[in-house]
Chains A and B, each alone.
Chain A
Amino acid sequence: MKKTILTTTAMVAGLGMVAGAASAQEVRFMCYSDGNECEVYDDLANRFEADNPGVDVIVDVVPYQAILENLPVQLAAGTGPDLAKVTDLGGLNEYYLDLTPHVDADYWDSAFGETLNWYRVGDRQGIYGMHSQLTITGPFVNATLFEQAGVEMPGEGATWDDWATAASAVAAGTDADFPMAMDRSGHRVAGPAISYGAKYFTEDGVGSFEGFDAFAEAFVGWNEDGTMARDVWASQGGSTYADAAQEFINGEVVFYYSGSWQVGRMDEQVGDFFDWQVVGSPCGPAGPCSGMPGGAGIVGFEGTENPEAVAAFIDFLAQEDVYAEATARTRNLPAHLGVAAAGVEFQDVSAAAQGALNGFAGALPDVSPIAFAYQGYAGNRAMYGITVERVSQAIVGELSVSDAMDRAASDLEAAMAEAQ
């Protein structure tokens, strides 16, 4: 009897120790989804846990707004998660865990190349994030409306003006409410603005709105003359995000400038209502026919109590076979150069969606170096917000375009002074 009690006590104590060890390796992953990403990562985490007994990865699914607004405050207060899926890539650099000591740096360099720089700021030049979801901005076009209107779709190398003229002709010849629409986002206008000559940086590499006014002038003009859906930019205040995806899905917009992350939604919701396709970003007077890269990445945080486990999990996700599977299942463009080179057979997508994703992937070589640099710039979120606020004011007539640009410049100066 005594032996039984001792054995039981020892087993309970042993189980307690195991449980203690397990909880010591608990890793919390703050994740948001554009589609099914968190679901897929949760599944992959189960596989990782099976290979790494004692590590418990808990995927906390949160709204995107929580990543934007709550995560930075949590990190500053030291109460953040162990890892997260983020979009403010350089902006949160000060909190990132450097993965370099825990991973094969050569593999990461060859696999993720340029995107690693998006997570680096100043002296902190380590390996911080795995770019899980590469996106690129570009236009969706309602091909059925073009066909109905009998208007020929502008071809390769067409300019913004060509598309504006063609889309207006289509809208006039059909029941479409708006020839064009663009998401209310500073990120979305960046590609077109570069095509119109925006530099986004001074010669010293500091953020700037130099050269942005040409696009601002054109964009405000399109909103005034009805070429662009005024509702998207004018019916909101501040820097609030708004898109026109639903209007495009409803067949109300001929040409909708958004990005690759919308492909899944279009595929699911447009169905066979009309034919849609992705075309390359139009060119501008300054030359480039550039979209804007972007996306999200998975980063670990220095505040974690389990840096090895965090790094091991991110490294697991970064392995070519795992990354390829996640990309295929989440229907995102790969940032992993090996996976991109091998090509991705996206799961459960229609021919239109497969074509659209290939179309976006094909537009990547056209992305201007300025756009790549802007995406990795730590102050880009401030610049996105300022762009939206001031351009919106010009659209609704509160400020002239030149006053809006002057205000944008002084806002940026003030923001940079505070951020320093």
Chain B
Amino acid sequence: MLNIISAAMRVIEIPMLALQRRLGINRLAWAFLLPNLILFGLFAFLPVILNVFYAMTGGDNVLLADRPQVGARNFATLLDCQNYLDVNSCREDKFWRAVWNTIWFVILQVGFMVGFALLTAIVLNRDIRARGFFRSVFFFPVLLSPVVVALIWKWILQREGVLNAFLDWTGVGGINWLVDANWAFGWSVFISVWAHMGFYTLILLAGLQAIPRDVYEAAMMDRASAWRTFRRITMPLLAPTMLVVLILALIKGVQTFDEVYAFTGGGPGTATTFIIQYIYEEGFAGAPRLFGLAAAASLLVAGVLVVLTLIQLRLSRNNVDG
């Protein structure tokens, strides 16, 4: 086997040596990076550049060459508001409804999700019976497709769904969950937490298991209470993992689309329309297709995501350095 590998290496060595002689050893690195750079350029960098160009154009033509240049007009349309807290005073009120819905959704979803994930991770880190089974149970929803998640919960929550059948049976009486704006929003948060919590629980569990046991043993010998141990040992040592979880959850929260779109379609009205759905509807589902406005909105979202990512990188670096 080793002979085969070394023979193969000798075959590869011939063109590599020729390439090294031609480019020099320093520039050879670029030759290795080239395939990845081409793929990244084509499928990541080029679309971003095209998106910037689209954001500066108007009309409903698809081809960039057929689209009139409008400068920053699309951004001006999106940002034209007398009072950003009152969406009805904004020219593009649907955009600001989506922005505020997204902000509230992210606050509630990330808050509940990280809180529950931490609680679950702490419980699963203990020597409880059937620990492996419960770890699987909490992780299972992460494996489901977002559309499947949405359809399962839609069947449960629709007017004649499972939950209302149960409530009718108990005599409480059903509620039209998906027609009431507050309930629909609340359930969207709940479903999102249910679907994604397992992933973050797993990360936090890994963080908890990385905390040396002797620190806890020392605390026990000092007769520290469980709460004090949690506050003074677990939380500080879990903080780096917690930060990563928080930032990842924030980014994922801002990007929420498929699950909620399949669940409520963004309704009732615009109660569960989030920013990515707004972009999708303006650019692809509505008529005329406002690619420019959608591209401008997506750049604004990208800006927010870049800021969140930079914060994550900075915090990660601080943790590594510190």
Chain A residues with a Cβ under 8 A of chain B: 69, 72-73, 76-77, 88, 91, 230-231, 234-240, 381-382, 384-385, 389, 392-393, 395-399, 403, 407, 415, 418-420
Q: How far, in angstroms, from A418 to B270 measured CA to CA in the complex?
A: 23
* Residues on the A chain within 8 Å of B277, using CB: 237-238
Select which of B63, B285, B288 is within 8 A of A382 by beta carbon: B288
With an 8 A cutoff between CB atoms, is B258 at the interface? Answer: no
Q: How far, in angstroms, from A231 to B154 measured CA to CA in the complex?
A: 13
- Closest chain-B Cβ to A387's Cβ sits at a distance in Å of 12
With A73-B62, A407-B93 given, is the CB distance from A238 to B288 under 8 Å?
A: no
Q: Contact at A231–B269, with CB atoms within 8 Å?
A: no
| 26 interchain pairs, CB-CB under 8 A | A76-B63, A91-B287, A230-B179, A231-B179, A234-B267, A235-B179, A235-B264, A236-B265, A236-B267, A237-B264, A237-B270, A238-B266, A381-B287, A382-B287, A382-B288, A384-B287, A385-B287, A392-B267, A393-B269, A393-B270, A396-B271, A398-B271, A399-B88, A415-B287, A415-B290, A418-B290
Q: Contact at B88–A231, with CB atoms within 8 Å?
A: no
**Which residue of chain A is the closest to B97 with respect to CB atoms?**
A398
Q: Contact at B273–A238, with CB atoms within 8 Å?
A: yes
Chain B residues with a Cβ under 8 A of chain A: 58-63, 88, 93-94, 97, 159, 176, 178-179, 181, 264-273, 277, 281, 284-290, 292
With A237-B277, A415-B288, A418-B290 given, is the CB distance from A403 to B176 under 8 Å?
A: no
Q: How far, in angstroms, from A28 to B266 measured CA to CA in the complex?
A: 36
Q: Contact at A77–B62, with CB atoms within 8 Å?
A: yes
Q: How far, in angstroms, from A50 to B85 measured CA to CA in the complex?
A: 67
With A69-B285, A396-B181, A418-B290 given, is the CB distance from A235 to B60 under 8 Å?
A: no
Q: How far, in angstroms, from A118 to B159 measured CA to CA in the complex?
A: 40
Q: Contact at B267–A237, with CB atoms within 8 Å?
A: yes
With A73-B62, A240-B265 given, is the CB distance from A235 to B270 under 8 Å?
A: no
Q: How far, in angstroms, from A232 to B17 measured CA to CA in the complex?
A: 70
Q: How far, in angstroms, from A57 to B94 measured CA to CA in the complex?
A: 44
With A72-B289, A393-B270 given, is the CB distance from A236 to B264 under 8 Å?
A: yes
* Residues on the B chain within 8 Å of A231, using CB: 159, 176, 178-179
Q: Contact at A238–B268, with CB atoms within 8 Å?
A: no
Q: Contact at A76–B269, with CB atoms within 8 Å?
A: no
Q: Contact at B179–A237, with CB atoms within 8 Å?
A: no
- Closest chain-B Cβ to A315's Cβ sits at a distance in Å of 30
Q: Contact at A418–B269, with CB atoms within 8 Å?
A: no
* Residues on the A chain within 8 Å of B287, using CB: 88, 91, 381-382, 384-385, 415
- Closest chain-B Cβ to A403's Cβ sits at a distance in Å of 7
**Which residue of chain A is the closest to B88 with respect to CB atoms?**
A403
* Residues on the B chain within 8 Å of A385, using CB: 286-287
Q: How far, in angstroms, from A81 to B292 measured CA to CA in the complex?
A: 26
* Residues on the B chain within 8 Å of A237, using CB: 264-273, 277
Q: How far, in angstroms, from A230 to B177 measured CA to CA in the complex?
A: 12
* Residues on the A chain within 8 Å of B281, using CB: 238-239
- Closest chain-B Cβ to A397's Cβ sits at a distance in Å of 8
**Which residue of chain A is the closest to B178 with respect to CB atoms?**
A235
* Residues on the B chain within 8 Å of A382, using CB: 286-288
**Which residue of chain B is the closest to A403 with respect to CB atoms?**
B88
- Most chain B CB inside 10 Å of its own CB: which residue of A88, A238, A240, A415: A238
- Closest chain-A Cβ to B209's Cβ sits at a distance in Å of 42
**Beyond A234-B268, A389-B94, A407-B93, 7 additional pairs, beta carbon < 8 A:** A88-B287, A234-B269, A235-B265, A395-B269, A396-B268, A397-B181, A419-B288
Q: How far, in angstroms, from A88 to B60 measured CA to CA in the complex?
A: 15
- Closest chain-A Cβ to B290's Cβ sits at a distance in Å of 6
Q: How far, in angstroms, from A403 to B89 measured CA to CA in the complex?
A: 11
Q: Contact at B179–A418, with CB atoms within 8 Å?
A: no
**Which residue of chain B is the closest to A381 with respect to CB atoms?**
B287
Q: How far, in angstroms, from A415 to B287 measured CA to CA in the complex?
A: 8
Q: Contact at A234–B63, with CB atoms within 8 Å?
A: no
- Most chain B CB inside 10 Å of its own CB: which residue of A72, A237, A393: A237
Q: How far, in angstroms, from A69 to B284 measured CA to CA in the complex?
A: 7
- Closest chain-B Cβ to A327's Cβ sits at a distance in Å of 29
* Residues on the B chain within 8 Å of A403, using CB: 88
**Which residue of chain A is the closest to B154 with respect to CB atoms?**
A235
- Closest chain-B Cβ to A406's Cβ sits at a distance in Å of 10
Q: Contact at B179–A76, with CB atoms within 8 Å?
A: no
* Residues on the A chain within 8 Å of B265, using CB: 235-238, 240
**Which residue of chain A is the closest to B93 with respect to CB atoms?**
A407
**Which residue of chain A is the closest to B288 with respect to CB atoms?**
A419
**Which residue of chain B is the closest to A239 with respect to CB atoms?**
B286
Q: Contact at B61–A396, with CB atoms within 8 Å?
A: no
Q: How far, in angstroms, from A415 to B61 measured CA to CA in the complex?
A: 13
With A77-B63, A234-B179, A235-B264 given, is the CB distance from A392 to B288 under 8 Å?
A: no
Q: How far, in angstroms, from A382 to B62 measured CA to CA in the complex?
A: 17
- Most chain A CB inside 10 Å of its own CB: which residue of B58, B286, B289, B292: B286
Q: Contact at A398–B269, with CB atoms within 8 Å?
A: yes
With A231-B159, A235-B267, A392-B269 given, is the CB distance from A76 to B176 under 8 Å?
A: no
With A393-B270, A396-B268 given, is the CB distance from A238 to B285 under 8 Å?
A: yes
Q: How far, in angstroms, from A155 to B10 measured CA to CA in the complex?
A: 93
**Which residue of chain B is the closest to A241 with respect to CB atoms?**
B265
Q: Contact at A418–B272, with CB atoms within 8 Å?
A: no
**Which residue of chain B is the closest to A73 with respect to CB atoms?**
B62
Q: Contact at B270–A398, with CB atoms within 8 Å?
A: yes
* Residues on the A chain within 8 Å of B181, using CB: 396-398
**Which residue of chain A is the closest to B280 with respect to CB atoms?**
A238
Q: Contact at B62–A76, with CB atoms within 8 Å?
A: yes
Q: Contact at A235–B268, with CB atoms within 8 Å?
A: yes
- Closest chain-A Cβ to B59's Cβ sits at a distance in Å of 6
Q: How far, in angstroms, from A200 to B19 measured CA to CA in the complex?
A: 70
* Residues on the A chain within 8 Å of B290, using CB: 415, 418
Q: How far, in angstroms, from A418 to B290 measured CA to CA in the complex?
A: 7
* Residues on the B chain within 8 Å of A381, using CB: 287
* Residues on the B chain within 8 Å of A397, using CB: 181, 269
* Residues on the B chain within 8 Å of A236, using CB: 264-268
* Residues on the B chain within 8 Å of A419, using CB: 59-60, 288
**Which residue of chain B is the closest to A384 with respect to CB atoms?**
B287
Select which of A234, A384, A392, A418 is within 8 A of B60 by beta carbon: A418
* Residues on the A chain within 8 Å of B289, using CB: 72
* Residues on the A chain within 8 Å of B159, using CB: 231
* Residues on the A chain within 8 Å of B266, using CB: 236-238, 240
- Closest chain-B Cβ to A339's Cβ sits at a distance in Å of 31
Q: How far, in angstroms, from A234 to B273 measured CA to CA in the complex?
A: 13
* Residues on the A chain within 8 Å of B268, using CB: 234-237, 392, 395-396
Enumerate the 9 nearest inter-chain pairs by beta-carbon distance, A residue then B residue, closest first: A237-B266, A237-B267, A76-B62, A396-B269, A381-B287, A236-B265, A396-B268, A234-B268, A398-B269
